[in-house]
Amino acid sequence: MAGRSRIELPQHVSEPFEVFLNGVPQHRGRDYDQLGRTLVFSRELKTEGKLGFWRWTSLWLGVAGTYRQNDVVDVVYRSGGKRMVETGLRFEPLDEEPTGRLGS
């Protein structure tokens, strides 16, 4: 399946946890699946990256806005009885079918 992305959970994040994409709650089994410590999203996630000189110049002059896709994934979990947030998790495209069973 083309256009999927994956995220490796940091070692200190344990279940239960909540996943947010651009501040919107995501649901396991519908928006993403889990394979061990890997979250597999059913869509391609993208980040805008660095802006070059001409892009900055056009923004500064008001010639162009910046409306590129810039996804941010956050995970909320509990540690030591406190609610913790791991924000801006790094994602990458999923080029091949993962092996194993995607669990819930």
Domains, in order of start, for the chain? 5-93 (2.60.40)
At 59 the pLDDT is: 64
pLDDT of amino acid 60: 66
pTM for the whole structure: 0.72
What is the model's pLDDT at position 63?
65
- In three-state form (DSSP H/G/I as H, E/B as E, the rest C), the secondary structure along the chain is CCCCEEEECCCCCCCCEEEEECCEEECECCCEEEECCEEEECCCCCCCCCCCHHHHHHHHHCCCCCCCCCCCEEEEEEECCEEEEECCCCEEECCCCCCCCCEC
28-78 confidence digits (pLDDT tens): 999 999 999 999 998 888 776 555 666 656 666 766 665 667 889 999 999
Q: pLDDT value at position 70?
A: 80
Q: How confident is the model at residue 10 (pLDDT cuts 50, 70, 90)?
A: very high
pLDDT at 47: 76
